[in-house]
């Protein structure tokens, strides 16, 4: 019984050290998404540039595509945007924008100023689509395959490294 008085605190301490040691080896930007490998959530919302037209993910069935969540108020989106413009020029994959909790006029003005890399942008004014996709905040990007299954989620801005090492090889494998 006297040994338990020392063994139990030691075991608790050793468990905490192991827990923190494992936590320090992980990349804090990698947040597992429960949507990976599952069908992209359905929605049907107005397009940013044409409120009379709508967009739904089913419109992209049979195509590999990317859904990029962005907003004019998002500082990180501005960092990522030139890379998306360059990607659009390469015409590798259609990139659909999901304008997130933004004013229509602010969003359209932002695209006029910085360039429009999107095949189209859907307008998620109230953020409901973002909630269905588990969006933590803009920017986030989803790679969706021909069957409409989410294959990758990029949290935060797409970096040149993430594009070259993760996203482009994935897009090539899905084509």
pLDDT in tens, 31-76: 667 899 999 999 999 999 999 999 999 999 999 999 999 999 999 9
The pLDDT, as a whole number, for residue 164 is 95
Give me 134's structure tokens: 């588990």
Nearest CA to 46 out of 5, 104, 7 is that of 104
The pLDDT, as a whole number, for residue 7 is 83
Would you place residue 130 in the very low, low, confident or very high pLDDT band (cuts 50, 70, 90)?
Answer: very high
Confirm whether 76 is domain-assigned.
yes
Confirm whether 7 is domain-assigned.
no
Confirm whether 53 is domain-assigned.
yes
pLDDT in tens, 100-111: 999 999 999 999
Q: Name the residue range of residue 54's domain.
A: 33-174
Token pair 């006297």 is found at 2
Distance in angstroms (rounded) separating the CA atoms of residues 150 and 144: 4
Confirm whether 135 is domain-assigned.
yes
Confirm whether 1 is domain-assigned.
no
Would you place residue 15 in the very low, low, confident or very high pLDDT band (cuts 50, 70, 90)?
Answer: confident
Mean pLDDT (whole number) for 154-172? 95
**Statement: residue 16 has pLDDT above 90:** no
Mean pLDDT (whole number) for 138-154? 96
Confirm whether 28 is domain-assigned.
no
Confirm whether 18 is domain-assigned.
no
**Statement: residue 1 has pLDDT above 80:** no
CATH number for 81:
3.40.30.10
**Statement: residue 5 has pLDDT above 90:** no
What is the reported pTM? Answer: 0.83
Give the HSE-up count for residue 100: Cα atoms under 13 Å, Cβ half-sphere.
26
CB neighbourhood size of 94 (10 A): 15
Structurally, the chain folds into a number of domains equal to 1
Confirm whether 11 is domain-assigned.
no
Mean pLDDT (whole number) for 97-102? 96
The pLDDT, as a whole number, for residue 6 is 81
Distance in angstroms (rounded) separating the CA atoms of residues 165 and 102: 31
Would you place residue 27 in the very low, low, confident or very high pLDDT band (cuts 50, 70, 90)?
Answer: low
Classify residue 170 by burial, with Cβ atoms within 10 Å: 0-12, 13-18, 19+: middle
DSSP code string of 83-139? HHHHHHHHTSS-EEEEEES--HHHHHHHHHHH----SEEEEETTSHHHHHTT--SS-
Mean pLDDT (whole number) for 75-82? 96
**Percent of the chain whose predicted confidence (pLDDT) is above 70:** 94
Q: What is the pLDDT of the chain when averaged over all its residues?
A: 92
Distance in angstroms (rounded) separating the CA atoms of residues 57 and 145: 11
């Amino acid at each position: 019984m006297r040994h338990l008085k020392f063994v139990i605190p030691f075991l608790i301490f050793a468990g905490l050290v192991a827990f923190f040691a494992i936590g320090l080896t992980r990349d804090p930007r990698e947040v597992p998404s429960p949507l990976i490998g599952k069908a992209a959530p359905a929605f049907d919302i107005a397009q940013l540039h044409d409120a009379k037209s709508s967009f739904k993910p089913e419109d992209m069935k049979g195509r590999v595509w990317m859904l990029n969540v962005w907003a004019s108020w998002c500082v990180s989106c501005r960092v990522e945007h030139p890379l998306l413009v360059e990607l659009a020029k390469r015409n590798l994959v259609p990139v659909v924008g999901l304008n997130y909790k933004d004013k229509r006029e602010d969003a359209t003005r932002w695209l006029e100023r910085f360039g429009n890399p999107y095949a189209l942008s859907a307008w998620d004014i109230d953020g409901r689509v973002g909630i269905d996709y588990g969006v933590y905040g803009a920017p986030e990007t989803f790679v969706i395959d021909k069957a409409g299954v989410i294959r990758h989620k990029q949290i935060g801005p797409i970096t040149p490294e993430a594009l070259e090492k993760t996203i482009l090889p994935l897009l090539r494998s899905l084509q």
